[in-house]
Amino acid sequence: MLSAGLAALVPLPLAAADLPPGLEQAELLPAHLTADGTVMTALHLDLAPDWKTYWRSPGETGLPPVFDWSGAPNVTRAVAHWPQPEVIESDGSRTLGYHDQLILPIELTPATPGQPIEGKVAIDLGLCLNICVPAHLELSAPGPVSAGVDPRITAALASAPAEGTATVTCTVTEIEDGLRVTAAVPGSPPEAAAMELDAPDMWVSQPELGRDGAAVTATADFVGPSGKPFALDHAALRLTLIGDGGAVEYQGCTPA
């Protein structure tokens, strides 16, 4: 009876019949307690052959995952630690995402420390084969923390983009429906780039890469819900450069 009771506390992956097309497995991995007192779990997706899903800022045509933790009342904050994405070329467009498998670490802050994270998390995401379709998942929260650390979570955290230390300068130009931002940072040309603001309703074009002397440049258009130019928060601009040797992420920029 004791073993049956413990098994009931372990979140199980969704059965194949409950999964949308393109997914073979979906679950939250067993959680562990971090040194800061937060709870670290991870979204684990196994994708069907040739299917893909998206990074947090996938490009013009991608569907980034959206998480709703309101069904887990002991969660006050959830922070995703994204592993480096792949560059996906399809029909002349470029997006950023993952194929085969995604292990996405998620750091949870409990409302009541020491109590398990129970309930449900709802996830909306995009899944792609020849075309991309929206999908919806509802997964069981991770429950009580485990004594050990799942090595898949450790590996995913280690694959996150490195923190860039060079100074990024940016030039901002008003366009009819928003802003055009060019960010420049010393370095070698990457394979791809992403530019972001912490605003889920902000549309951002795929950055165009270039060079300005010894600096790499990335230029993208930002269009907000107002459809008008707006004041850029330079500290909020995030630039990620992705290349064969890994990815580097820069937070904030200095006006040129």
Going by C-alpha positions, the residue among 78, 72, 10, 65 that lies closest to residue 38 is 78
pTM (2 d.p.): 0.88
pLDDT interval class at 15 (50, 70, 90): low
Write out the DSSP string of 127-138: EESSSEEEEEEE
H helices of 20-104, in order, are none
Diameter of the chain by CA atoms?
Answer: 70
What would the pLDDT profile of 38-69 be if each residue is shown by its tens digit? 999 999 999 999 999 999 998 877 888 999 99
Q: What is the mean pLDDT of residues 202-224?
A: 95
What would the pLDDT profile of 62-103 be if each residue is shown by its tens digit? 888 999 999 999 999 999 999 999 998 877 678 899 999 999
- pLDDT at residue 2, as a whole number: 37
Residue 4 in this model has a pLDDT that exceeds 50:
no
Q: Count of CB atoms within 10 A of residue 233's CB?
A: 11
What would the pLDDT profile of 114-159 be if each residue is shown by its tens digit? 999 999 999 999 999 988 889 999 999 999 999 999 999 999 999 9
- Which domains are present in the chain? 11-158 (2.60.40.1250), 162-255 (2.60.40)
What would the pLDDT profile of 153-168 be if each residue is shown by its tens digit? 999 999 999 999 999 9
